[in-house]
Amino acid sequence: MARSTKSYEERMLQLEKKEQESLEKAKQYAAQKRELKKRQKDVET
């Protein structure tokens, strides 16, 4: 019983870690997208 609880907690930690990494990647992607839009505007004007 205790063993399954620990593995459950470990799985939850892994999921949270993956979620954090996904959020970081999403933030980076959004920042890159904004940067590209800025550059496009600069080129157009």
Grouped pLDDT means (10 residues each) for the chain, 45 residues: 77 97 98 95 86
* Cα(36)–Cα(42) distance, integer angstroms: 10
* Cα(33)–Cα(27) distance, integer angstroms: 10
Tokens standing for 30?
Answer: 């959004």
* Cα(28)–Cα(38) distance, integer angstroms: 15
* Cα(4)–Cα(14) distance, integer angstroms: 15
pTM: predicted TM-score of the whole model, two decimal places:
0.64
